[in-house]
Structure 1
Amino acid sequence: MTAEDRRRIADGLAAGLTYAEIARWLGRSRSTVTREIARNGGPHGYRAARAQHATSWRARRRKHAPHAGVPRGTDDREVRTAREFEEQFVAMMIETGMAPMTARVFAALFVSESGSLTAAELVQHLRVSPATISNATRWLEQRELVTREREARRLRYVVDVDVWYRTWAASARSMALWAATTRHGAGIFGTDTPTGDRLHTTSQFFELLGHDMSQAAEHWRQALSTQRRRSGPAG
C-alpha cells in the first residue's frame, strides 16, 4: 500500500464510497482496503498521512515485538501469519459494526494462546493507553463477550468458546423483550388500526426469531457438551 493509495482511500471515504468501491478504484481486494482502514483509525478516523506514518512505525516495531497469540520461540513467518490473521479478524468485526478499538481488543484476546490477557499485556500488545483498554473491555463485558478475573493486583480479561452461546442467548432474550413490548402495544392500539397492525406484525416477527434463536442456542449447548465429553480423558 503506497502513500498515494492511502490518499485515495481517504478521498474515497470522504466522498462516502463503500469499501468495495474504493477497492475497485484502487485495483485492490476489498479485504486489503478493509484491513488498511481498520488498523488506521476506522472509516471516520482514517487519515492518509497518519496511516503512512503508523505503518512505517509498526514495521519497525514488528521486528522486535512478540505477538500475544504465538508462543515464544515461534519462527518469524508464523508470527507474521498470526498478525495478518488478527488484522483480518479485526477488519471483519469492524465491517460488521464493532468499534475499531473494541475489535482490536477482542481480537487480541481471542487469538491469544490462552484466550486471556492482563490489562497490561493488552496495553503492550496494542500500544494504547490503559484508559483505552478499560473503555473497550467495559463494552465487551457489558455484552458478555469477555469476563474479568482478579489475578493478584492485576486484572485479567478472558474469552472462551462459550462466549457465542452466552451472546446468542442474550440476543434471544432481547428478541423476547421486543416481542412482549410490541405485543402489548398492539393490544393498546388495537390490531384493526395501522399502528396496532404494525406492532402486531413486529411482535410476530420477534416471537418467531426469538424462538428460533433459543432453539439454536440450546442445540449448540448440547452439541458442545457432547463434544467435550467425547474429547475428555478416558475413564
Structure 2
Amino acid sequence: MGAVTESSTEQPAEQELLVEVPRAPVRPALEAVLMIADQPLDAVALATAVGHPVEDVVAALQLLAEEYDEQDRGFELRNVAGGWRYYTREAYAPVVEAFVLEGQQARLTQAALETLAVVAYKQPVSRARVSAIRGVNVDGVMRTLLTRGLVEEAGQDDGTGAHLYRTTTYFLERIGVQSLDELPELAPYLPDLGDIDDELEQLANAEPRSSRPAPTPDHAPETGPSTEPDGGTEPT
C-alpha cells in the first residue's frame, strides 16, 4: 500500500556518528601541554591544543598562575615573550643552579652584557658598529652571544654587505619582557651610529700615509680573541 522508507533504519547510525568525545578539563589539559613545551606558547596555540575557546584558556591560565603563587610552588606560570611557559621560581634559583651547573660559571661577563645591551638598543646592527660603540673588538663576545641564543643574524647591510645582528625571543624570555618596547629608556645615552661613522672617517683621514691601513670596520676579522683596553682577553 505505502512505500517502505529506509529512513527509520538509517537514523540511529547517523546519530551514533554525531556523538562527540568528551573534551579533557581545560586546566589539567593546559598543565599537560605546558609541561612539555620547550618555548612559550600563546593562548591561541594552547586553545587549539586543548580544544577549548581562547577566552576559557586565558582565564584558566591566569587562575593557574595565581594558584601556583598562593601555594608557593617551586615553579610558576609566566606570560613572557608573547606566550605562556613554566619557570622555576626565582627564590629557588640557587638550588636549580647548583644542580644544573655543578659549579660551572654560567653568568655572562661584563663585556658580554655590554655588547648585548648595544645590540638590544641599536638592532639591527653590524658587529663592527658594536665594536665602535664599545671601543673594543667584540668578535669573541658576539660568538658567545650567538652560541647562547641571545643574538641572531638579521640579514646584511645594503650598503656595506656586513652581517647585521639582533636579539632573539629567548633574550626577551630571559629578561622577562614581552617585547623590546618594554626595555628601559637607555637608547638616548648611546652614541648615534651616524656620529660613529663620522668619527671613524675623520680618524682614517688623519692617519699618516706611512701607517699601515686599518681594516674596514664592516670587514673586521671574524676570528681571534678580543681584548679590552687594559690588555685583558674578553672571555668567550
TM-score, reference length from structure 2 = 0.29
- Structure having greater relative contact order (Cα 8 Å, sep ≥ 6): 2
* Structure with the bigger percentage of helix: 1
* Structure with the bigger percentage of strand: 2
TM-score, reference length from structure 1 = 0.29
